[in-house]
Amino acid sequence: MNFKNALKQVQKDCDIKMVNSGVFTGSWSKIEHKKKLDSFSPINGKKLGTIALATKKDYKQVIESAESSFKEWRKIPGPRRGEIIKEISDELLKYKESLGILVSLEVGKTISEGQGEVQEMIDIGYFATGLSRQIYGNTMASERKHHRMYEQYKPLGPIGVITSFNFPSAVWAWNSFIAAVVGDVTVWKPSSKAPLTAVATINIVNKVLKRNNLQPIFFLIVGRGRDIGDDFLNERRFPLISFTGSVKTGSKVGELVGKRQGKTLLELGGNNAAIVTENCDINNAVNGVAFGALATAGQRCTSTRRLILHKNIYDTFLEKMKKAYQSVRIGTPLDPNTLIGPLIDQQSVDNYLNAIKTAQNQGGKLVTGGKIKKIKDLENGFYVEPTIIEATKDMDIVKEETFAPILYVMKYKTIEEALTIHNNVPQGLSSAIFTNDIREEEYFLSEKGSDCGIANVNTSTAGAEIGGAFGGEKDTGGGRESGSDAWKIYAHRQTVTVNYGKDVPLAQGVKFDIEE
């Protein structure tokens, strides 16, 4: 696919202009006399468009609009809210190709991954539609005569959603579509590295609300952290802030929101490992590890960053991985034959190079890769060679997350040793084991096994389905998004007691009789 033609298609179908407003309050704010942010493609460094950034005044208007809309949206019955979200998913399906191409242009995902991102939005919308009829609460037995006790869930209010560049629209949908059927509205602050995808998404979803004569429930504010970031986090009208990003920034988010007794949903760093045992299906394991390590050029929070290999298959498996790494096609993600596209920017390239240098200084052995990849006609893109480094569990760099295609390989003798190595990092997002031995599988899944929020057997650390709750432990933040009962964080639980008797008995047999 030609870059120029792809950009024209996106501009036409997704209503992307050369200069776009970055603030949606129910309508797009004016762009004049505002600071601007340019979006450049990591594919070739070419400019995709410009965003007019939010001002303090814009921020105030967004919050006021969200508050007003919430008061109306919460009145709509849950199943009807679900029908609207289904219609939004249907609308996104119409734009799947163009919006997916925009994802590829703006963040460098391959064509299939860009389309997959939009499909993920569609799928979570359909999931939310079913959920809209299942916002259940428990009924409990009361110890008091003539009393009924149960719980119900009520919407929180406007929700602040801050997303990262690597999933520039899907993670927003995880939060916003689920929150919407619960009865909330959302204000989206996207990554400054992927603002056009956010603008296009808001264009599409709000068409459906307008068509149904409803107030907007999805708001957008693009602005630099130093201008509106702290205001966003300190905003008491946001009872919940959902944040996806680094551990460092996530810690600040948790601190600021916690000071005002707000709730946070934190999806932070991952340093995910795959354990490959001598009892594995080697070909399946190679494919699973390679996908986990190389998809999105290693820029997924679930990317496989550590490979823990049994000593008896170490040399054989490592040689297969080396061949796979050296044969994988790197280039423009607009080519359907490409498997690895660019990193997002020059800073990411620098981090990649620094991590490799640090690993070597700490005793790591470079197996393959380790250099910038020069590609004809894409000289201004950010391409690097996928890299494998033999490492030891004691190397400090192995405990850090580098958002790049770097895989550290370590050797183990026993499954107990493998899990010790596996768990000996600050992060706890995704994990995997490749084995056909049920004892090894069950040990991995036991209380002595993986300490991560996600555990996979004979499949990759990356590629989570929307039906399961997504999130991790330790420095990963403890948040849960998407499926299962993750919806509960967007609501407040209320315990209800109804006395339908003629007197007022107290719990635990307490007596409090007032003489008349």
Active centre residues (catalytic): 267, 301
In terms of DSSP bridges, do strands 469-470 and 481-482 run parallel, antiparallel, or are they unpaired? antiparallel
Whether 389 and 321 have beta carbons less than 8 Å apart is answered as no
Give alpha helix (H) positions in 310-401. Answer: 314-327, 346-361
d(CA 102, CA 55): 26
**Residues in CB range of 377: below 8 A, 6 or more apart:** 44
**Residues in CB range of 14: below 8 A, 6 or more apart:** 95, 98, 99, 102, 200, 203, 204
The two structure tokens encoding residue 36: 């601007």
d(CA 67, CA 215): 11
**Residues in CB range of 152: below 8 A, 6 or more apart:** 137, 493, 494, 496
Tell me the residue type at 269.
Answer: G
Query: Contacts from 286-290 at CB under 8 Å and sequence distance 24+?
Result: 286/317, 286/320, 286/321, 286/324, 288/432, 288/434, 288/458, 288/459, 288/460, 289/321, 289/407, 289/432, 289/434, 289/460, 290/321, 290/324, 290/325, 290/328
Which one-letter DSSP state was computed for residue 29? Answer: P
Residue in the block written with tokens 């399906």? 93
Instruction: Output b/e per residue, 464-491; b: 16+ Cβ within 10 A.
Output: bebeebbbbbbbbbbbbbbbeebbebbb
Tell me the residue type at 431.
Answer: S
The two structure tokens encoding residue 147: 């009393």
Tell me the residue type at 147.
Answer: H
Length of the chain: 516
d(CA 245, CA 235): 19
The two structure tokens encoding residue 27: 């309508």
Whether 429 and 456 have beta carbons less than 8 Å apart is answered as no
Whether 454 and 473 have beta carbons less than 8 Å apart is answered as no
Instruction: Output b/e per residue, 238-258; b: 16+ Cβ within 10 A.
Output: bbbbbbbbbbebbebbbebbe
User: For residue 17, how many C-alpha atoms fall within 13 Å in the half-sphere facing its CB?
Assistant: 9
Instruction: Output b/e per residue, 68-97; b: 16+ Cβ within 10 A.
Output: ebbeebbebebeebbbbbbbbbebbeebbb
